[in-house]
């Protein structure tokens, strides 16, 4: 999925016009994006500025991202509706993000990251490895479903989200009943959510929510690297750290059937 220089200019012009129209529309609706807006940062760092500057063709701030709800394939990736469209929530430093984009050039990939530095690191890593099928956006993952229409997404990847281990903070965990209910609507039939965490407490918590949801759990292990799934698993940066500390990785894959 390569983009010629002339097409990049056309792509950028088209996006700018569409974003302006969509942005004006949702601002009139008074939508709450649940996040501090990039444009309101008084002294942006290089990474904050790069999202709308150096990497503007491939990265989207929270307002631009919201404008493409239901139109990611058509307006951003410039592909038809039959092309698979995957999502990684929390790209971190982008090793898996780039790996996925390289491994599946026939699929579109959108990464979600709230912190500017890893966001830019992720898309930069993918682009440096020749990926043209990857884009990244800044948004609050707890409301990620706001970026998509029903049945717009294919597979979703959630690797090592913040476990919020303190009892008072568990309410902040990404995996909960509301999240799974909304994501199930946004995904296509036979797509899946892949979830990995080093936190056994979080995994047990998440497992209960998955079981109570409309998803069907088909793969599950409390020790990924000693399981039958190890051979196809991509070891992330965080995963390598946990392995050195002899911490077991918990893994599940749940499908929309």
| Lateral strand order in the sheet of 134-137 | 59-60, 134-137, 108-112, 85-89, 156-159, 192-197, 250-255, 216-221
Closest among 165, 255, 238, 146 to 196, alpha carbons compared? 238
Q: Residues 184, 88, 70, 3: what is their CA dihedral angle, to the nearest 10 degrees?
A: -150
Whether 101 and 86 have beta carbons less than 8 Å apart is answered as: no
Q: Is 75 among the residues known to form the active site?
A: no
Cross-strand bridge partners of residue 60: 137
Cross-strand bridge partners of residue 220: 252
Query: Where would I find the H helices in 104-193?
Result: 116-128, 177-186
Q: Which of 52, 75, 162, 219 is catalytic?
A: 162
Residue 21 has φ and ψ, to the nearest 5°, of: -65, -50
Chain centroid to CA 155: 10
Active site residues: 162
């Amino acid at each position: 999925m390569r983009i010629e220089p002339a097409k990049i200019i056309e792509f950028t012009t088209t996006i700018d016009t569409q974003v302006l129209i969509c942005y004006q529309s949702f601002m009139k609706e008074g939508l709450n994006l649940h996040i501090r807006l990039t444009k309101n940062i008084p002294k942006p760092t290089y990474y904050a500025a790069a999202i709308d500057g150096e990497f503007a063709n491939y990265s989207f701030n929270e307002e631009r991202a919201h404008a493409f709800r239901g139109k990611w394939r058509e307006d951003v990736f410039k592909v038809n509706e039959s092309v698979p469209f995957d999502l990684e929530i929390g790209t971190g430093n982008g090793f898996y993000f780039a790996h996925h984009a390289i491994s599946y050039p026939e699929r579109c990939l959108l990464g979600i990251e709230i912190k500017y530095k890893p966001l830019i690191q992720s898309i930069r890593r993918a682009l440096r490895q020749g990926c043209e099928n990857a884009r990244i956006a800044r948004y609050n993952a707890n409301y990620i479903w706001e970026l998509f229409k029903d049945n717009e997404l294919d597979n979703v990847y959630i690797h090592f989200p913040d476990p919020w281990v303190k009892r008072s903070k568990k309410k902040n965990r990404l995996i909960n009943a509301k999240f799974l209910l909304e994501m199930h609507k946004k995904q296509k039939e036979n797509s899946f959510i892949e979830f990995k965490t080093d936190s056994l407490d979080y995994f047990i918590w998440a497992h209960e929510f998955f079981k109570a949801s409309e998803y069907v759990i088909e793969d599950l292990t409390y020790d990924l690297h000693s399981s039958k799934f190890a051979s196809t698993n991509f070891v992330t940066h965080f995963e390598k750290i946990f392995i050195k500390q002899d911490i077991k990785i918990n893994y599940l894959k749940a499908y929309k059937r």
